[in-house]
Structures are given as C-alpha cells and as structure tokens.
C-alpha cells in the first residue's frame, strides 16, 4: 500500500486525530471502517488503537473480581495483562488441552458470576489452530462467553479472509472476535466484532483503553479502509499461502498445517539464535523466538510466510535449515 493510494480517502487532516474518539477525534473514516466491518462480519464492530489496547480494555471492561477467566497457556501477553487488570480469577489450561479446560470449568465455574474463555484462533508462536467447535461446546455447556483473538487469522483464513471462525462457518456463535490491522491487513490498529449492539455500546463507555487515548491518525484508518476493500477478494493469494505453508511443513517434516506461521523448534535459545544468524547470512530474515516469549527448551525460529513468497524462494531456506538440523542433531 503506497501513500498515494490513500490520498483520495483523506481530507487535509491526515496525521493527527487531535483527541480521543469520544471528544473530537472521531474522524469520518472510523464510521467507514466500522460500517465495512459490520457488512463483512454481519455484526457490530468497534475499532481500537491496537490489539494490545483492545485486549487490555475489553477483558478488563467485561470481567471483574466476581468473574473467572480461562485462558490457554500460550495466549498473547495482552490477554494476560487484560485478565490481570480486570481483577478476575485467571485460570490457565495447558495448550489446546480441552479436557483440562473442561475439568477446570467443571470445578471452578460454579463459584463465579461470569466466565470468559479466551484464546487465540491461530497461535502466534506455533501457528496451530484451535478446535473452535470444541470451545463452543464447552462455552455452551458451562455458560461462559468465548473471546477469540484472531490476530493471526484475519486476512489469511476464511473465504473472505475474516478468520478461523469464518473458515469454519461458526462466526455467529463466537461472542467476541478480535482482529488486528497491523498484520495481514498491512495497516495498524485493531477491531472487535461483538454479538450484540449493547455490547459495543458498553465497550465504548467502559473500555478504558478506548476512552482515554487519542484516536488513530486518519491516514491509518484510510489504510485499514483500503485493506478491507481489497483483502476479502484476495482468494488466490490465500490459496497460494495455504499451499505454500503445507509444502514447507512437509519439506521440513513438521506436523501438517496451513497457516502462515511455521515454527521450527530447536530447543535451546543459543541454538535458535545460531540458526537465525546463519539464515540471516544467507539472506533470510527468520527471527529466533526464545523464553520468556515461548516456554523453556522450546526456543525456535519462526518463519512467517506471505503470499508473495514462492516455492523457489523457499528451496534454499529449506536446504539451510535441514543442513543446520542434521549438523546439530
């Protein structure tokens, strides 16, 4: 996206919103972006300044000290920070272990007023997808709300790139769905799609990270608006990305999958750094991810594919990784 693509969408005040949305910062482009999101998702949508701020504000607005939050062990730090800020009791379950989640819900849920299950749909450091059907069953069975963070799924999964819930045809059943605009959409900011308008109105008034911050610069909203026009139609790019991900995983003998995040777990932090350095020298920027971002002894390199990559691009990368792994096994 180039600046000249955005100019037709902007009036003269392109860069500084000047104030919070509830004061004078509510630029007309907000209306445009939220209306477009509502058309796409068929539900009310609210834009936040970032995914971090959205998670912080939404979770702390919805839950309080009489409530319980159930979160996958590997969820993003912003979810944990939101849960801590809320004052609710936070229960973590082992990554994607739905039996453990059910045991926790059965034991703990009755003692709390509200329960919120919160998870990512595609995990940021592992690239695996949640079992959404199972989460919805548990949510119904134990009278909980489900908050799905689709930061790594928006743009890349689903017929129109709306995320995993769209891919599985279950969007209507998720209570709150978070998307970020800074990843596949190529802009900045975030949005939440909610089941009822009253929930949107509640967040507008109660989510402190929404109320007490300067609104996004109009130029950012223009970029998001353009992305929301283009991305739903990029089906060919999404197909290519899925195929590329499956191919790369197969070549590296990794568990099957089709999301753009492909981690190669090597164990020790030093090993991940050394592989990342070696790839950098060969022209590949593949960062090492180490504790505390990931659990001890699961340091890794994380490959992030885009629709612009090709199998030819990947051939030398695969060769280098295989070489390193066989020398260091």
Residues binding ligand PLP (CB under 6 A):
50-52, 55, 76, 78, 120, 124, 149, 151, 180, 182, 190
Nearest approach in angstroms of CB 55 to ligand PLP is 6
58 with 207: CB under 8 angstroms?
yes
Nearest approach in angstroms of CB 38 to ligand PLP is 20
Choose between 50 and 271: whose C-beta lies nearer to ligand PLP.
Answer: 50
Nearest approach in angstroms of CB 224 to ligand PLP is 12
Choose between 171 and 189: whose C-beta lies nearer to ligand PLP.
Answer: 189
3-state secondary structure of 117: strand
Choose between 118 and 321: whose C-beta lies nearer to ligand PLP.
Answer: 118
Q: 114: how many CB neighbours lie within 10 A of its CB?
A: 16
Residue 230: closest CA among 310, 303, 307, 304:
307
Count helices and strands (H / E) in the chain.
Answer: 13, 10
- Which tokens in the block code for residue 239? 């197909």
25 with 18: CB under 8 angstroms?
yes
The DSSP symbol for 20 reads: B
Choose between 105 and 125: whose C-beta lies nearer to ligand PLP.
Answer: 125
Q: 101: how many CB neighbours lie within 10 A of its CB?
A: 24
**N-to-C CA span, the chain:** 42
Residue 266: closest CA among 322, 213, 184:
322
Nearest approach in angstroms of CB 265 to ligand PLP is 18
Nearest approach in angstroms of CB 124 to ligand PLP is 4
The residue number with the shortest CB distance to ligand PLP is 51
Choose between 294 and 314: whose C-beta lies nearer to ligand PLP.
Answer: 294
Nearest approach in angstroms of CB 236 to ligand PLP is 26
Distance CA 10, CA 12 (A): 7
Nearest approach in angstroms of CB 230 to ligand PLP is 19
Choose between 181 and 321: whose C-beta lies nearer to ligand PLP.
Answer: 181
Distance CA 179, CA 153 (A): 8
Nearest approach in angstroms of CB 151 to ligand PLP is 4
Q: 3: how many CB neighbours lie within 10 A of its CB?
A: 11
Choose between 190 and 266: whose C-beta lies nearer to ligand PLP.
Answer: 190
Choose between 58 and 299: whose C-beta lies nearer to ligand PLP.
Answer: 58
60 with 54: CB under 8 angstroms?
no
250 with 263: CB under 8 angstroms?
no
């Amino acid at each position: 996206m180039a600046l000249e693509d955005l100019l037709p969408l902007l009036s003269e005040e392109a860069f500084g919103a000047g104030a919070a949305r509830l004061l004078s910062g509510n630029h007309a482009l907000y209306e445009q972006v939220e209306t477009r999101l509502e058309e796409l998702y068929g539900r009310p949508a609210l834009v936040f300044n970032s995914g971090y701020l959205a998670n912080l504000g939404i979770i702390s607005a919805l839950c309080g000290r009489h409530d319980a939050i159930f979160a996958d062990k590997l969820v993003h730090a912003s979810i944990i920070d939101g849960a801590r800020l809320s004052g609710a009791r936070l229960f973590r379950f082992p990554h994607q272990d739905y039996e453990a989640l059910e045991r926790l819900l059965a034991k703990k849920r009755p003692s709390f007023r509200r329960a919120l299950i919160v998870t990512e749909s595609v995990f940021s450091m592992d690239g695996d997808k949640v079992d959404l059907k199972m989460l919805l069953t548990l949510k119904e069975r134990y009278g909980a709300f489900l908050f799905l963070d689709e930061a790594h799924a928006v743009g890349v999964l689903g017929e129109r790139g709306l995320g995993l819930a769209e891919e599985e045809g279950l969007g209507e059943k998720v209570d709150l769905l978070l998307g970020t605009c800074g990843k596949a959409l190529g802009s900045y900011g975030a949005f939440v799609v909610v089941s009822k308008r009253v929930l949107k109105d509640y967040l507008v008034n109660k989510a402190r990270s929404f109320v007490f911050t300067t609104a996004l610069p109009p130029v950012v909203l223009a970029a998001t608006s353009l992305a929301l026009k283009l991305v739903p139609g990029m089906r060919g790019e999404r197909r290519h990305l899925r195929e590329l991900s499956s191919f790369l995983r197969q070549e590296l003998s990794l568990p099957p999958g089709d999301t753009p995040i492909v981690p190669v777990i090597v164990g020790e932090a030093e090993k991940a750094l050394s592989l990342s350095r070696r790839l950098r020298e060969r022209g590949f920027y593949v960062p090492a991810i180490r504790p505390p971002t990931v659990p001890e002894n699961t340091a890794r390199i994380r490959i992030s594919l885009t629709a612009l990559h090709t199998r030819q691009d990947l051939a030398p990368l695969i060769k280098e990784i295989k070489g390193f792994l066989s020398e260091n096994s």
